[in-house]
Amino acid sequence: MSQSRRPEKGFTLVELLVVIGIIALLISILLPSLNSARRSAQKAQCLSNLRSIAQSYNFYAGENAGFWPMATHQWVSTLTGTGLPAARDKRWVHFISKYFVQVDTAIPTDPKPAKQGFNYEGNNPSIQSTLAGSNNVLWGCPNWDRVGWTATATIDSPFHNGYSMNIYPEAPNAITTTGTGTAANDGSGGGPRTNWSIRFATGSVTQTTGWYFKQTQWKRSSERALLLDSVHVNTSITATWPWWGTGPEPQTPNAGFFSADFNRHHPKKRRGVGQSEASINVAMCDSSASTMSAKETHRAVRFAPQP
């Protein structure tokens, strides 16, 4: 005679709900800590990236008579044809990309303008295409969401990699044209030069703006920013703080007057980080790097008096 089988005891609905509730509670407790740990690790990786990029400027100087790259060098194109640009440019990323990845940025090359000789062939290649999709330190900070802000719109572009080069090498000196001679527009022969590392071209005219600066011209190297977290590939920071004493602090950076990404590395906030909260990774001209507040970054870039 067969024995009757005892029914197997399972979880009751109440027990299942209790277990699910405990798991949800543990997740809610652990998730912020895990996110914070992840962001801290990404911040450390970003600092390492910036140190590596800053060191590459020294390699570049060694190959180019002591000069550092220009943030943007734009010149009038000599090519003609449908779809070809009137002006061409090369950004700081393209100057140093050869130290990180094998790329060819010539698409094709114009005759080199007189007196340059600083390795800037290329036809305005995007940063993303220049790096050929590689997981490269030049293609941005791991904490960057690849979106920048202007006064009226967001920027999501292959020309912006989340880092920028300081364009004010002799700050706090004024950005004014110097020299009165008729020689080259780099100021070396007495000709005019503007105190920033950008040179633009408009239509068929190359403007008398900035030029290449030697590494030795970036004085106080341990205090002066060279590279920083930014919503635009070029640094744009006004000499006076945009919102000191003028109203509420902004929620996001602005590529037009304060491009430093002050929300980037805050452990909790994604917007509206205060001016004194350390959240911007900055590499100095001596290749050191640290996390700074927006107020500290402003001084490292412009050396302007603080209110």
Q: Give the tens place of pLDDT for each residue, 2-11.
A: 555 555 566 6
Q: How far apart are CA 191 and CA 35, in angstroms?
A: 54
Number of domains in the chain: 1
228 located within any domain = yes
In a domain, 272, yes or no: yes
| Domain membership flag for residue 22 | no
**Cα 8 to Cα 151: distance, rounded to the nearest angstrom:** 67
Does a structural domain hold residue 26? no
Predicted structure pTM score: 0.77
Task: Report pLDDT for 151.
Answer: 59
Helix segments in 174-304, DSSP class H: 294-302
In a domain, residue 181? The reply is yes
Parallel/antiparallel/unpaired status of strands 72-76 and 198-199: parallel
Strands (E), the chain: 72-76, 87-91, 148-149, 154-155, 163-165, 198-199, 201-202, 205-206, 225-229, 280-284, 289-292
Q: Which two tokens stand for residue 161?
A: 């990699």
What is the pLDDT at residue 103?
A: 53
Other C-beta atoms within 10 Å of 6: how many? 6
pLDDT by position in tens, the chain (length 307): 555 555 556 668 777 788 888 888 777 776 666 667 777 888 999 999 999 999 999 999 999 999 999 998 877 766 655 555 566 778 898 888 888 876 544 333 444 333 333 333 344 455 666 565 556 788 778 888 776 666 566 666 666 788 999 999 989 988 876 655 444 444 444 556 678 888 877 655 556 578 889 999 999 999 999 999 998 888 988 887 766 556 677 888 888 888 999 999 988 888 889 888 999 999 999 999 999 999 999 999 999 766 5
Domain residues for 82? 34-302
Q: Is residue 78 part of a domain?
A: yes
- 267 domain residue, yes or no: yes
**Residue 7 resides in a domain:** no
Cα angle 237-243-246, degrees, rounded to a multiple of 5: 150
Model pLDDT, residue 155? 64
